[in-house]
Amino acid sequence: MGSMFLIAIVTALWSYHVAVSQLPPLAVLSDRSLITNKGTCKLQLGGFYNIAQRQSAISTGSVKSVGFQFKQDFRELCTDVALKKYRTVDGNCNHPKNWGTSLTPVARILPPAYDDNVGSPRTLGKDNIPLPNPRTISSYVHPSTSDPEARTIMIMQWGQWLDHDVTGFPVVTEANGAIKCCGPNGTKPIGAVNQNCFAIMLPCHEVNFAGSCMEFVRSVGATDKDGCLLNPREQVNSLTSFIDGSQIYGSTEELAAKLRDGTGILLKTKNDTFLPEDVSASCILRPGTNDYCFLAGDVRVNEHPALGAMHTIWLRAHNSIAKELRTRRPADTDEEIFQMTRKIIGALQQVITYNEWLPIILGTEATKLKLTSKTGRTKRLSGVDPRILNEFSTAAMRFGHSFIPEVIPIGTRRVPLRTLFNRPAEVLDNLDDLIAGVAGVGTPGRNMAESLDRNFVEEITNHLFEPPAAPKGRGLDLISLNLQRGRDHGIPPYTAYRAVCGLRPIVDFDDTEALGPFASQLGRVYRSVDDIDLFTGLVHEPPAKGALVGPTLSCILGTQFYNLKFGDRFFFDTDESLISFTDGKCCKIKCRGPQRGLLFTAQLKSLRSVTLAKVICANTKIEALPNNVFSPVSKTNPLVPCSQLLDESLDLRFFD
């Protein structure tokens, strides 16, 4: 399927649907949700059920998960949590209530603000006046300008990698594929419109897009297993909420099995060291080449080459560790070797996230919340809800879109991002140059991420998933889509989250202390500060001292990552003996008296010594990297030979 660059198949709409695609069981859940929402609405109109009253009763007024009581995962609650030695693929039995399991509803900080209090998207602001058009907000409030940050592109790439481990909101599809909400060539739809459509009507003065309509389909809604629970519409997370490497291993048993090699301990590869082929996927392939679309634990693997490169590196990391463990643990079964390797890989995801990436994003707030894990052990707190917060996935974690650069440095080239969407070729041809450039080395010129602010580059505001050789205006606008997704999910306005995070209220658009130097421009689009979309408000906030994010964004991110640490029974430095890295074994050195904990300490110390730079060095032929690949090379962050970095990295002798 390489002819003519697959233009007939690879369109911006198709690419976006891949990015938010659903798994087969969700079609049934979506139908149930629609029926339930309609029934709830009828009951409310008839005066039998006051959902607003129920929401008010549920809301705690503090930053905690406010989840409606769905029967988690549409199956029985877990009764053998303590007997699970390794994580299940779908997250089942990590938590007694199955919170965080794939294909289950997410949680919320605040109850939804649907127009009808049930499930109709949020389109009305204060005094029931229509909210401004998402594309208008994107164009006037989020200008397409470039202002590089003093951080490498890896700060963005790890954020996306992490997001694809914990969040995936699938959209509704029909039996014959993606729902089309606009008319031909982006015109306004004529006649009946699918009830799951929430298309963005473009302003009449739009110059960057053809037509007057941008495609948008609503996220799948969830109900309980009987399809009759009286609740507002809630969205489904198709992934496990835990930081467990699910983008590597999958979040369903079916996909996990598909990714494993016949040897039992390895993940499947193609050409020995690259990702396997997904014959059912469609991506942009060069005619006359051996290009192919990648298969991984997350369907978004082909979005752009830097993401595909991360998938490739971690695939190699798994197989390398598994092979060494096989020689060191000859008595173990293949399944034990595979699961121990998966456990180590999952631990490294957490080490890099909590000890390298989060401290840069949150600054001192990471320490205050005990989010770093450089010493000691973590005790799971029974009252902590590990589910993904709707506000985190729909707004807060999308702050990383501001980091996205105009170009990706690859060797001596600086390649426009718009020419790389859905093209795996650069991973196959130039993996080392690609990952080195993202890490800030190897390519002449300034190759940094963009600053975290209200600005977004044109590659994603006018040319997202734009097909090759397409007529002008055939891409999408990621910022408009972000805003529309928040409204689809009924996310309350920004000011509501300032309140729940304990911050002072905003009363007008002159509040530059809260909304930054461009606060007044918000007033040219929004009628009231109480109408500001959460995503827009978060990226307008001036950063806190020593952090990259402002106070409300820090509050939401901090809450989520706290929950993901203290609500995860399998967190890498857990104090639970059955699943800790001692594995119940004694060591060659004395294990009694003062020596008793030495092996446990050695394993944790070895895991904590790992940085992303060391993982990259171990799985590429790159010769040198700074130890901190999130920051540019400098006197305090010099290039270090990979041979030296690896001397101080993961030591599998402690895992015999």
How much is the pLDDT for 46? Answer: 44
Q: What angle do CA 201, 203, 509 make, to 5 degrees?
A: 105
Distance, CA of 268 to chain centre? 24
Classify 113 as helix, strand or coil. Answer: coil
What are residue 236's DSSP bridge partners? 105
For 285, the enclosing helix (H) or strand (E) is: none
Q: pLDDT of 322-353, one tens digit each?
A: 999 999 999 999 999 999 999 999 999 999 99
Within 271-369, residue ranges assigned H as helices are 305-328, 334-352, 358-362, 364-368
Q: pLDDT of 432-490, one tens digit each?
A: 999 999 999 977 667 899 999 999 999 999 999 998 876 676 889 999 999 999 999 99
What is the Cα–Cα distance from 153 to 150, expressed in whole angstroms?
10
Of the pLDDT bands very low, low, confident and very high (cuts 50, 70, 90), residue 1 is very low
Residue 590's identity, in one-letter code, is K
> Token match 């790159």: residue?
622
The lowest-confidence range among 228-242, 439-453, 593-607 is 593-607
CB 106 within 8 A of CB 234: yes
Q: pLDDT of 3-58, one tens digit each?
A: 323 333 445 655 665 666 545 444 444 554 544 455 444 444 444 434 444 344 33
CB 103 within 8 A of CB 73: yes
* Whether pLDDT at 2 is above 50: no
How much is the pLDDT for 227? Answer: 53
* Whether pLDDT at 59 is above 70: no
More confident residue, 224 or 403: 403
What is the Cα–Cα distance from 132 to 19, expressed in whole angstroms?
26
CB neighbourhood size of 584 (10 A): 9
Residue 31's φ and ψ, nearest 5 degrees, are -60, -45
What is the Cα–Cα distance from 580 to 607, expressed in whole angstroms?
12
**Is-catalytic flag, 540?**
no
Q: What angle do CA 44, 49, 55 make, to 5 degrees?
A: 100
CB 133 within 8 A of CB 523: no
For residue 372, what are its two tokens? 């770093």
For 449, the enclosing helix (H) or strand (E) is: strand 448-450
How much is the pLDDT for 615? Answer: 98
Residue 21's identity, in one-letter code, is S
The per-residue pLDDT of the chain, averaged, comes to 86
Residue 589's identity, in one-letter code, is I
* Share above pLDDT 70 across residues of the chain, in percent, rounded to a whole number: 82
What is the pTM for the complete model shown?
0.90
Tell whether the torsion through CA atoms of 241, 491, 31 and 193 is positive or negative.
negative
Q: pLDDT of 83-120, one tens digit each?
A: 678 999 999 999 888 899 999 999 999 999 999 999 99
Set 17, 95, 142, 164: catalytic member:
164
For 27, the enclosing helix (H) or strand (E) is: helix 26-45
Q: Is 401 among the annotated ligand-binding positions?
A: yes
More confident residue, 214 or 32: 214
As to burial, measured by CB atoms within 10 angstroms (0-12 exposed, 13-18 middle, 19+ buried), residue 251 is buried
How much is the pLDDT for 52? Answer: 46
For residue 466, what are its two tokens? 């734009």
* Whether pLDDT at 359 is above 70: yes
Q: Largest Cα–Cα distance in the chain?
A: 79
Q: pLDDT of 301-326, one tens digit each?
A: 999 999 999 999 999 999 999 999 99
For residue 343, what are its two tokens? 């456990």
How much is the pLDDT for 21? Answer: 56
More confident residue, 122 or 582: 122
What is the Cα–Cα distance from 300 to 422, expressed in whole angstroms?
9
What are residue 234's DSSP bridge partners? 222
